[in-house]
């Protein structure tokens, strides 16, 4: 394969000697009485960075959402509002606790949960909403918080894609009764697999600590568990990787914003696209650079993706509306969702994530954009 056709990954980490050194140290030393040292360092640094009182390192963000819902006392008969456009990990934990997800529409510019749509979706059974900072962007948190306050529902912030982002003077991860991060290998900050829950609510924190350790509170009698819980812990090696990555967070976020800038500059004179938006007062960390093709071009993501993949360009479809995927076929909240959530349905079919890994260079961005423009025009005239 010639060099120019080398595969361009859609996402991937930035690992330096620092990460290798910390993980090596953990593998060599983090045992016996030191088994939790790196987790505690990672938790303390994450809590401080996000101005939260408590943090718990977990094996995934999905586990964090599960624990948050459980600790909020959400269960059968309750409804939890979730934006239509997100990864299924945002909504799946609602089923783990026996509650019902209700899909609500997104804002046309931020692609995140819309406050008016949230309010319309609230019923007497609504207990909470999971708000997602999609692709590193931030919704209008002020408006969402005032709706939640008015209707007395809890918010959970799914900031899996948005570490380092800001809404006004508050960082992603500082919102809601609890917030959760993902450190999956594709994310801005990675531990391979991993997650963290942050909160200011001590009772919620203590409940999470107990339920993530098979229903045994820290320090309680061994093998004498109070409840049937879950097993959600992070290893020291993962935490060591996280500590190193967190020390580099500003550099990582700057890099993500630089990559986005290369795309924005390269595509600025091209018609037919828009990219991720950044409202005033928001800092978007552009986890995934995402192109939305103008509806008038009538070019779908599903037509475009195989043509780019064939050229070694790693792209992904914009999330499908959750109400449209097989997992939620026949689900009560999927009925009539296309009419109820028109913005999500309008955006999803014509959006694609472009290569956003730390390995991107201006030359690779140029190769991606040249191919993208050519294929869009080919499909447009073919139609
Ligand atoms: C990645 C992601 C998750 C899940 O994270 P895991 O660590 O894989 O459980 C949840 N929500 C969103 C929005 C994500 O992008």
Domain, as residue range, for 48: 17-247
Mean pLDDT of 76-83: 98
Percent of the chain topping pLDDT 90:
97
Nearest Cα to 289, choosing from 246, 318, 251, 312?
318
Predicted local confidence at residue 381, as pLDDT? 74
pLDDT of 382 reads 65
- Give the three-class secondary structure for 359: coil
Q: To the nearest 10°, the Cα dihedral for 135, 105, 52, 40? A: -50
Nearest to 282 by CA among 154, 109, 30: 109
Are 29 and 152 in a shared domain?
yes
Same domain flag for 197 and 332: no
Same domain, 236 and 93: yes
Last residue in a domain, options 215, 230, 247: 247
Establish if 64 belongs to a structural domain.
yes
Q: Is 188 in the pocket of ligand 1 (CB under 6 A)?
A: no
Cα–Cα distance for residue pair 29/281, rounded to 1 Å = 44
Q: Does one domain contain both 36 and 145?
A: yes
State how far the Cα of 240 lies from the Cα of 242, in Å rounded to an integer. 5
**CATH code of residue 65:** 3.40.640.10
pLDDT in tens, 81-117: 999 999 999 999 999 999 999 999 999 999 999 999 9
For 330, the 3-state DSSP assignment is coil
End position of a domain, from candidates 191, 225, 247: 247
Closest ligand 1 atom number to CA of residue 63:
9
Best mutation site among 60, 61, 135 for ligand 1, i.e. most ligand atoms within 8 A of its Cβ?
A: 61
Q: Looking at the domain assignment, is residue 4 inside a domain?
A: no
- H or E element, residue 337: helix 337-340
Residues 224 and 276 in one domain: no
Residue 7 falls within a domain, yes or no?
no
DSSP per-residue string spanning 204-225? HHHHHHHHTBTT--TTSPTT--
Q: Is the CB of 160 under 6 A from ligand 1?
A: yes
- Closest-CA residue to 130 (of 107, 148, 102, 156): 156
| Ligand 1 atom with minimal separation from the 184 CA | 7
Q: 323 φ, ψ to 5°?
A: -70, -10
- Same-domain pairing of 84 and 220: yes
Q: Cα–Cα distance between 276 and 298 in angstroms, integer? A: 20
Does residue 137 have its Cβ closer than 6 Å to ligand 1? no
On whether both 216 and 253 belong to a single domain, the answer is no
Residues 199 and 276 in one domain: no
pLDDT of residue 6: 86
Measured CA to CA, the distance from residue 156 to residue 376 in angstroms comes to 38
Statement to judge: residues 364 and 229 lie in one domain:
no
**Whether residue 157 has its Cβ less than 6 Å from ligand 1:** no
Give the ligand 1 atom nearest the CA of 64.
9
DSSP-assigned beta bridge partners for residue 274: 292
pLDDT, tens only, 319-359: 999 999 999 999 999 999 999 999 999 999 999 999 999 99
Whether the CB-CB separation of 300 and 350 falls below 8 Å is answered with yes
For residues 12-31, give the mean pLDDT: 98
DSSP 67-109: HHHHHTT--TT-EEEEESBS-GGGTHHHHHTT-EEEEE-B-TT
Number of domains making up the chain: 2
191 within a domain of the structure (yes/no): yes
Measured distance CA(346)–CA(259) in Å, rounded: 26
Say how far apart CA 304 and CA 371 lie, in whole Å: 10
Task: Kindly indicate the confidence band of residue 1, based on its pLDDT and cuts at 50, 70 and 90.
Answer: very low
Flag whether 8 is in a domain: no
For ligand 1, mutation pick of 86, 89, 192 (most atoms within 8 Å of CB): 89
With a 6 A CB cut-off, is 132 part of the ligand 1 pocket? Answer: yes
Residue 303, domain CATH: 3.90.1150.10
Which two tokens mark 326? 């097989």
Q: List pLDDT tens digits, range 328-338.
A: 999 999 999 99
Q: Is it the case that residue 271 has pLDDT exceeding 60?
A: yes
Can you give the pLDDT at residue 201? 98
Domain presence at residue 1: no
Per-residue HEC secondary structure of 310-324 comes to CCCECCEECCCEHHH
Q: Report the residue among 10, 110, 161, 186 best suited for mutation to probe ligand 1: largest number of ligand atoms under 8 A from its CB.
A: 161
pTM for the full predicted model: 0.97
**Average model confidence (pLDDT) for the chain?**
97
Same domain, 106 and 30: yes
The CA-to-CA distance between both ends of the chain, in Å, stands at: 32
Residue 4: CB atoms within 10 Å: 9
Question: Domain boundary at 247, 268, 299, which?
Answer: 247
Is residue 179 in contact with ligand 1, taking CB distance under 6 Å?
A: no
pLDDT score for 2: 47
Q: Are residues 209 and 83 in the same domain?
A: yes
Token pair in block for residue 81: 């509002």
| Residue 249 contacts residue 72 (beta carbons within 8 Å) | no
In a domain, 337, yes or no: yes
Atom of ligand 1 nearest to the CA of 62: 9
Together in a domain, 257 and 144 = no
Which is it for strands 290-293 and 154-158: parallel, antiparallel or unpaired? unpaired
For a mutational test of ligand 1's pocket, the pick from 56, 93, 130, 158, i.e. the residue with the most ligand atoms closer than 8 A to its C-beta, is: 158
Residue 5 within a domain: no
């Amino acid at each position: 394969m010639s060099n120019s056709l080398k595969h361009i990954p859609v996402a991937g980490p930035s690992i330096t000697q620092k990460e290798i050194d910390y993980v090596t140290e953990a593998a060599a030393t983090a045992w016996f009485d030191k088994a939790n040292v790196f987790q505690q360092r990672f938790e303390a640094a994450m809590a401080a960075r996000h101005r939260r009182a408590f943090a718990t390192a977990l094996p995934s963000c999905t586990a964090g959402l599960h624990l948050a819902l459980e600790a909020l006392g959400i269960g059968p008969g309750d409804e939890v509002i979730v934006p239509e456009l997100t990864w299924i990990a945002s909504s799946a934990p609602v089923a783990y606790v026996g509650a019902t997800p209700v899909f609500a529409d997104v804002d046309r510019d931020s692609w995140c949960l819309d406050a008016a749509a949230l309010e319309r979706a609230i019923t007497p059974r609504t207990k909470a909403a999971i708000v997602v900072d999609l692709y590193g962007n931030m919704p209008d948190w002020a408006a969402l918080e005032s709706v939640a306050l008015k209707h007395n529902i809890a918010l959970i912030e799914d900031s899996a894609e948005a570490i380092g982002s800001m809404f006004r003077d508050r960082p992603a991860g500082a919102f809601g009764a609890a917030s959760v991060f993902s450190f999956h290998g594709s994310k801005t900050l990675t531990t391979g697999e991993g997650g963290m829950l942050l909160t200011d609510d001590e009772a919620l924190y203590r409940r999470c600590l107990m339920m993530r350790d098979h229903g045994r509170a820290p320090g309680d009698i061994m093998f004498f568990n109070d409840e049937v819980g879950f097993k959600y812990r992070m290893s020291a090696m993962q935490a060591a990787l996280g500590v190193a990555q967190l020390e580099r967070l500003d550099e990582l976020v700057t890099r993500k914003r630089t990559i986005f800038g290369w795309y924005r500059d390269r595509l600025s004179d091209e018609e037919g696209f828009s990219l991720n938006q950044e409202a005033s007062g928001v800092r978007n960390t552009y986890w995934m650079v995402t192109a939305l093709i103008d509806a008038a071009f009538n070019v779908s993501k599903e037509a475009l993706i195989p043509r780019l993949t064939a050229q070694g360009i790693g792209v992904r479809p914009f999330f499908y509306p959750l109400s449209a995927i097989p997992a939620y076929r026949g689900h009560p909240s999927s009925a009539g969702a296309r009419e109820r959530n028109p913005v999500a349905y309008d955006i999803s079919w014509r959006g694609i994530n472009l290569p956003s890994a730390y390995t991107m260079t201006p030359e690779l961005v140029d190769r991606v954009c040249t191919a993208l423009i050519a294929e869009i025009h080919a499909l447009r005239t073919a139609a």
